[in-house]
Amino acid sequence: KHLYSLTFDQSKKSENDDTKITKLTEAGYFHDSKVDSINFEFFTSIYSSISKARQFAVYSLKDGKCIKTFNVPYRGNPSSLKYVEPQLVEITNFPKDATNEQKEDEDFKKLYTFQAVIYPPYD
């Protein structure tokens, strides 16, 4: 996957305007990119290839220039990784003014039931 930018300014749009599409992520790698959804100024990318270890970097969304790169530590041999089994928990949180009839209604109950995954501490 790659991340591209496209300037979207309707006020400067004309019939013969050639919109420029800019590829922001580097070729030759597999990317998992996330965009700063508050200011739209930065994006992060975790990327790797068969010849280079996994990397994490922060880039400018304006021009795609790398601001900071971090090495992701080796995660170890999967056969020797230790983990705990997560627990799936359902939490029902009815509003204070819900009637007993509403609480018995399955559709109403589904609307106020949330699921969470709990990872107990690993000893």
Biggest CA–CA distance in the chain, Å, is 65
Which pLDDT score is estimated for 75?
A: 56
Which pLDDT score is estimated for 15?
A: 58
3-state secondary structure the chain: CCCEEECCCHHHCCCCCCCCEEECCCCCCEEEEEECCCCCCEEEEEEECCCCCCEEEEEECCCCCEEEEEECCCCCCHHHCCCCCCEEEEEECCCCCCCHHHHHCHHHHHHCEEEEEECCCCC
Low-confidence ranges of the chain (pLDDT < 70): 1-3, 6-19, 73-84, 121-123
Which pLDDT score is estimated for 69?
A: 83
Which pLDDT score is estimated for 65?
A: 82
Q: Return the half-sphere exposure (C-beta side, CA atoms, 13 A cut-off) of residue 45.
A: 23
Which pLDDT score is estimated for 80?
A: 52
Which pLDDT score is estimated for 112?
A: 92
With CA atoms as reference, report the closest residue to 108 among 90, 94, 88.
Answer: 94
| Residue 109 main-chain phi, psi, to 5 deg | -65, -40
